Amino acid sequence: MISHRGGDRELALFDPKDPDSCSDSIHLSDDEAVALSEVLGTSLVLGQFANLGDKSTGLFTEQIILSASSAFAGKTLGDTCARTLTKASIVAILRGPAVIPSPSPTENIEAGDIIVAVGTKEGLEKLSSLLADGRL
């Protein structure tokens, strides 16, 4: 399930042999996204947290999947210098069924981890770029 910055959500289907290509997607209503997250076991708190962002507060959340091609896969969170470079805060790491809340700079990050971050739209875009490309 993908939660876009604008609030839209969709269920995307990926080919296991090529996880970077989307073969199909289905738009989800808020109720459908909540129901799906309950079935899949995703934290409802994270879902509610994602709803905090709006134009009046300037606070937004993002869930970024760390790809295998990321320069930071297998390194520590501190190696990214994410907070300093982007002004976005990484507040949790989702790894399989485990949630690592408030990860420290010494926490290893792995391909497939879902990085949960909070910040401005600009900061989150920078963080997404940093984690994907190793640069801003």
Q: Are residues 111 and 76 in the same domain?
A: yes
How confident is the model over 100-108, as a mean pLDDT?
Answer: 92
95 inside domain: yes
Quote the pTM value: 0.62
- Residue 104: both structure tokens together: 């420290």
Does 34 share its domain with 62? no
Range of the domain at 27: 1-42
Residue at 87 is within a domain: yes
Rounded CA-CA distance 109/77 in Å is 6
Residue 50 placed within a domain: no
Q: pLDDT per residue over 109-133, tens digit each?
A: 999 999 999 889 899 999 999 999 8
Contact status, residue 42 vs residue 48, Cβ threshold 8 Å? no
Question: Which residue type is seen at 7?
Answer: G
pLDDT digits (tens, 9 = 90+) for 13-59: 777 777 667 777 888 777 777 666 666 655 545 555 555 555 556 77
Domain count, the chain: 2
Which of 69, 57, 80, 78 minimizes the C-alpha distance to 126?
80
Alpha helices in the chain (DSSP H): 30-40, 44-50, 77-80, 82-86, 121-133
pLDDT at 98 over 70: yes
Shared domain for 79 and 31, answered yes or no, is no
Whether residues 7 and 65 fall in one domain:
no
Neighbours of 33 (CB within 10 A): 21
Residue 51 forms part of a structural domain: no
Same domain, 135 and 76: yes
CB 118 within 8 Å of CB 61: yes
Residues 6+ apart with CB under 8 A from 72: 66, 79, 80, 109, 131, 134
CATH number for the domain including 126? 3.30.70.1450
Residue of 1 and 123 predicted with greater confidence: 123
